[in-house]
Amino acid sequence: MKKEILGRIVTADVTDENEKYIYSQIEGETFRTAKAELNKLPKMGSKLTGFAYENEHHHLQLTKNEPAVGFGKYAWSTVVSVQHDLGVFVDIGLPNKDIVVSLDDLPEQRELWPKKDDKLMVGLKIDNKGRLWGDLATETMFQGVSQRAKGDMKNQNVTCVAYRLKKIGTRVLTKDYCLGFIHPSERNEEPRLGQVLNARVIGVRDDGSLNLSLKPRAFEVIGDDAQMILAAVQHSSGSLAFSDKSSPEEIKDYFGISKGSFKRALGHLLKAGAVRQENGKIYLND
């Protein structure tokens, strides 16, 4: 009978109390509710409504703190721990119970399992023994909650969560609920399921989804000298009266580096497409 009760909002008959708990019954099962949750203590024989579950000590419990997830009700939940012979535990907001997402629902490669503080969008499911499990949202569900990306998002930075790992690439959902895709060529290593990622928009598709990259922009991997030169151009209205023909003394006086270091750094910026040289000046590219 517990299978028809657990994981649901139910109403039970108040039967007893002690210093910490109110006890109530429904269909022959006794549940405890922490008095600290209640603004007003119920009378014996009255009704008490709450979310029914079995806590970590295997006691049946009724809580007024309804979790954000349920049967057919999905929300982001934070991974709190990993148990390799069972799965990963996620916090769904219950006072003393974390829910397991079974290893059967996780990637075969253990290194791609979620880690602590990763995010999974889960609902609830229950097995024949009355045990609650986390149920991963399907591709259709992610499509259902997603929003179309704006056409001007190219080159913007976005925060996203990896929700589906495929050989052809990683599917993600951004913080603003846009669907995104990361091709293997646009990452240095495969993200974990549930990993929170900082990505760059490299394209907006006709269906409103995003093509993303985890690789830095070319100028973001340049050295300190190149960053300094780039900043100097940016703070000089987009142009600076220096070039690889400038004298070592001028370069040393302005930038504090040798001409050799200047030429190497400028070469990196030119190769990255961040700047261009014209008429003895450095210009910032769009």
pLDDT digits (tens, 9 = 90+) for 108-163: 999 999 999 999 999 999 998 889 999 999 999 999 999 999 988 988 999 999 99
Any idea which architecture 2-63 has in CATH?
A: Beta Barrel (2.40)
CATH 1.10.1060.10 assigned to domain 219-284? The reply is no
pLDDT tens profile 33-43:
999 999 999 99
Residue 192 has pLDDT above 90, yes or no: yes
Residues in a beta bridge with 70:
73
Over residues 69-94, mean pLDDT: 96
Domain ranges of the chain: 2-63, 75-137, 146-213, 219-284
pLDDT tens profile 198-255:
999 999 999 999 999 998 776 566 678 888 898 899 998 889 999 989 999 999 999 9
Instruction: Decide: pTM greater than 0.85.
Output: no
Domains 75-137 and 146-213 share a fold: yes
Residue 268 has pLDDT above 90, yes or no: no
Written in H, E and C, the secondary structure of 112-138 is HCCCCCCEEEEEEEECCCCCEEEEECC
CATH 2.30.42.10 assigned to domain 146-213? The reply is no
Domain boundaries 75-137, corresponding CATH code: 2.40.50.140
Question: What pLDDT, on the 0 to 100 scale, is given for residue 220?
Answer: 64
pLDDT tens profile 177-187:
999 999 999 99
Residue 133 CA, chain-centre distance (Å), reads 21
